[in-house]
Chain A
């Protein structure tokens, strides 16, 4: 099921329609398809075993994704923010490769006789000029390979087959379903699974892609207004900065925006409530997924948001903090440490199964014998099947045999008016095995709260086993560029 067919269909059904806007240039689906086919030819002739992108998003990232698919060569967008030594290691693992983007840096870091290096401009120019021989790969192999962020040790090479990605696109979306005026603002980096899925889903829906390679809240708002954007996906940190900028009286006409989706990290409840008020005309969707599951596996849709916002029932209101219900093509279970299936409202590890779930790394498959993928995310389902996340399974604090989710402690801490952000981690304890420690960021224009006051707050709202044994204050918490809290870094703050 070659995912190249997605662009072929768009090119067949709507060759004259604009499919991509980037850096002032507009590309029709017909032009994109011709360039992707030309790129496929170049890729095949290069003898490359991978097509790597070392660059921000641009027309080249769209053409490389589809071109690699048509050629049947895995597409490997790389994180250009990595340190030289780490990036060199990845380049070594994918040689011989056709590398598009920052060729000077790539050449400096790793040289291989079989590599072909092309700048963004040269790649696009040659792709347009190349003559396609008319053949497409059968699409039985790997479409995309993404290196995980590798917070511990060497990054793993997560593999997504054509069949995984196509199952999501064909199963969850309707071809050509976007109205003529639809435009989606894509500002997720190209090496992130959400960035890949945005290109595939937009193309299949015939929704014009408006690329914003480098996010700032001002440029996001300006482009939204200029291109009359109707749909946008943001990670929580982006939404926080957009909301802040709008609060600073940045004027933009946001009337075109109909759908805002978010995901990629825990969305603070206060932030989403504020955003719902700031964008009253927009529908909100929360998407939950992982690289290994071809992105979205559960959704909290616009109706769920409205119901939660207007309900008097605390259980329904609480769903604003959930990630919604699994997609129709996904089976989802919560299991305990021994692999036993748990019931409603019991927290454990999230397991998923379905055609879009890869769960596969180049080195090994993480799937169980019967095809379930242990996500290492912790969570529980409520009585109506809404999924609530409770951090990574590895982040659970085990104190005296009791499992404590850091999230519940953090939620209590940030409810204190002087606390802007908080992170709870487990630290070694002779008495308990692990004990709770918290790092707290003090809110602007607020005095440092008394640590004892914070401990009492947690004890009273939760119970004594959740009470922090150590409290430290810091300027800010460490997040990666996608807004993921780096808990291991926080742990180090308590090491001495």
Chain B
């Protein structure tokens, strides 16, 4: 999947932009995300932690990195394994 691809959740309002992607299925709320989707139903209870706008999400191996551009109730996973937020060390304002 190309960097810059926008993916939507099929179960909530979450939308992400792919920064980096490897092999595997990106999911939100327990369901695969898609480039075009109208959300229906509810996130799986096991994947309902929610997403936060502007947060970057990575898998354990950091082969996947997603930027949340719209928040929602579902949480992100790759092949069922939850992703975690990447905490950037902020740089001093320079521009």
- Give me the interface of A with B, judged by CB distance under 8 Å: 1-2, 5, 8-9, 12-13, 138-140, 162-163, 166, 170-177, 184, 194, 197-198, 201, 205, 207, 231, 233, 259, 261, 263, 283, 285, 287, 295-296, 299, 301-302, 327-328
From A1, A162, A175, A233, B95 is in contact (CB under 8 Å) with: A233
User: Is B61 positioned at the interface, with any CB of A under 8 Å from its CB?
Assistant: no
User: Is B83 positioned at the interface, with any CB of A under 8 Å from its CB?
Assistant: no
In the complex, besides A177-B90, A295-B95, 18 extra interface pairs with C-beta distance below 8 angstroms are A5-B69, A9-B53, A9-B54, A13-B53, A166-B4, A170-B67, A172-B91, A174-B88, A176-B54, A201-B93, A201-B95, A231-B93, A259-B93, A261-B94, A263-B94, A283-B92, A285-B94, A328-B89
From B53, B56, B88, A12 is in contact (CB under 8 Å) with: B53
What 8 A-B pairs are tightest by C-beta distance, nearest first?
A175-B54, A1-B4, A287-B94, A197-B95, A301-B92, A285-B92, A261-B94, A201-B95
Residues of B contacting A296 with CB < 8 Å?
A: 94-95
- Which residue of chain A has the shortest Cβ distance to B18 in the bound complex? A1
Contact indicator B4/A261 (Cβ below 8 Å): no
Contact indicator A5/B93 (Cβ below 8 Å): no
Contact indicator A205/B93 (Cβ below 8 Å): yes
From B53, B93, B94, A175 is in contact (CB under 8 Å) with: B53
B61-95 interface with A by 8 A CB criterion: 67, 69-70, 88-95
**Cα–Cα, bound, A261→B94 (Å):** 5
Residues of A contacting B92 with CB < 8 Å?
A: 259, 261, 283, 285, 299, 301-302
**Cα–Cα, bound, A327→B3 (Å):** 21
Q: Give 11 pairs: A residue, B residue, CB < 8 Å, sorted on A.
A: A5-B67, A5-B69, A13-B54, A170-B19, A174-B54, A175-B53, A175-B54, A198-B95, A207-B93, A231-B93, A299-B94
Residues of chain B at interface, number, CB under 8 A: 21
**Cα–Cα, bound, A175→B17 (Å):** 14
- Which residue of chain A has the shortest Cβ distance to B88 in the bound complex? A174
Contact indicator B90/A140 (Cβ below 8 Å): no
Most chain A CB within a 10 A radius of its CB, from B2, B5, B53, B95? B95
- Which residue of chain A has the shortest Cβ distance to B70 in the bound complex? A12
Chain A min CB distance to B53 (Å): 5
**Cα–Cα, bound, A228→B90 (Å):** 23
Contact indicator A327/B91 (Cβ below 8 Å): yes
Chain B min CB distance to A199 (Å): 9
Contact indicator B91/A301 (Cβ below 8 Å): yes
Given A2-B4, A138-B4, A139-B4; A9-B94 close (CB under 8 Å) = no
Residues of A contacting B89 with CB < 8 Å?
A: 328
Most chain A CB within a 10 A radius of its CB, from B2, B54, B93? B93
**Cα–Cα, bound, A39→B17 (Å):** 23
Given A1-B4, A140-B2, A170-B19; A194-B95 close (CB under 8 Å) = yes
Residues of B contacting A12 with CB < 8 Å?
A: 53, 69-70
- Which residue of chain B has the shortest Cβ distance to A197 in the bound complex? B95
- Which residue of chain B has the shortest Cβ distance to A296 in the bound complex? B94
Contact indicator B69/A174 (Cβ below 8 Å): no
**Cα–Cα, bound, A171→B56 (Å):** 10
Chain A min CB distance to B60 (Å): 20
Residues of B contacting A261 with CB < 8 Å?
A: 92-95
**Cα–Cα, bound, A13→B51 (Å):** 13
**Cα–Cα, bound, A2→B67 (Å):** 12
**Cα–Cα, bound, A285→B92 (Å):** 7
**Cα–Cα, bound, A166→B69 (Å):** 13
Chain B min CB distance to A296 (Å): 5
- Which residue of chain B has the shortest Cβ distance to A205 in the bound complex? B93
Contact indicator B90/A8 (Cβ below 8 Å): no
Contact indicator B67/A163 (Cβ below 8 Å): no
Contact indicator B95/A170 (Cβ below 8 Å): no
Chain A min CB distance to B72 (Å): 11
From B3, B56, B90, A1 is in contact (CB under 8 Å) with: B3
**Cα–Cα, bound, A170→B56 (Å):** 9
Contact indicator B91/A299 (Cβ below 8 Å): yes
Given A173-B90, A302-B92; A8-B54 close (CB under 8 Å) = no
Residues of A contacting B55 with CB < 8 Å?
A: 175
Residues of A contacting B69 with CB < 8 Å?
A: 5, 8-9, 12
**Cα–Cα, bound, A287→B90 (Å):** 15
Given A5-B69, A8-B69, A170-B19; A162-B91 close (CB under 8 Å) = no
Chain A min CB distance to B16 (Å): 11
Contact indicator B17/A1 (Cβ below 8 Å): yes
Q: Per-residue CB proximity of B1-18 to A under 8 Å, as 1/0?
A: 011110000000000010
Chain A min CB distance to B49 (Å): 19
Chain B min CB distance to A394 (Å): 26
Most chain A CB within a 10 A radius of its CB, from B4, B54, B56, B88? B54
Residues of B contacting A295 with CB < 8 Å?
A: 95
- Which residue of chain A has the shortest Cβ distance to B17 in the bound complex? A5
**Cα–Cα, bound, A172→B88 (Å):** 8
Contact indicator B19/A162 (Cβ below 8 Å): no
- Which residue of chain B has the shortest Cβ distance to A177 in the bound complex? B90
Contact indicator B4/A162 (Cβ below 8 Å): yes
Residues of B contacting A184 with CB < 8 Å?
A: 93
Residues of B contacting A301 with CB < 8 Å?
A: 91-92
**Cα–Cα, bound, A481→B64 (Å):** 44
**Cα–Cα, bound, A184→B94 (Å):** 10
Residues of B contacting A139 with CB < 8 Å?
A: 4
**Cα–Cα, bound, A233→B19 (Å):** 29
